[in-house]
Amino acid sequence: MTKSELAKQAGVCLSAVVQWEHPQGTTPNAANLARVAQITDVAFEWLATGRGAWRLANADEPAAVDPIVIANTFFEEQLLQIARKLPAQHHELLIALLRILVEKS
């Protein structure tokens, strides 16, 4: 598969794929990495970490990690880190505050 074909199937620019393959380039976010794994029929875990089987024994098996539960941006990573440190009694307050902010946007 060419870089152009991968970019088209993944829904990204060719320059993104070129960056992913370059040693000093950027790395794909979790959602893009999951798409590349699916397109290339390679196990997400192997592609992301280099560990485990490079290909699933049964292609119909669900992935061990659902990309929707992984932080895709630095902003999302920060939110997750803060939320994990927040005392349990403040969880509902944070959720309510975030909902208000979304509604006002």
66 pLDDT above the threshold of 70 = no
The mean pLDDT of the chain is: 86
Q: What is the mean pLDDT of residues 55-74?
A: 67
77 pLDDT above the threshold of 60 = yes
For residue 62, how many other CB atoms are within 10 A of its CB? 8
Q: Record the pTM.
A: 0.55
- CB-based contacts of 91: which residues, under 8 Å, 6+ apart? 83
For residue 76, how many other CB atoms are within 10 A of its CB? 13
What domain range is 71 assigned to? Answer: 3-104
56 pLDDT above the threshold of 60 = yes
Q: What is the mean pLDDT of residues 81-96?
A: 92
58 pLDDT above the threshold of 90 = no
Our count of domains for the chain comes to 1
List Cα–Cα distances, 86 to 82, 89, 100, in angstroms. 6, 8, 19
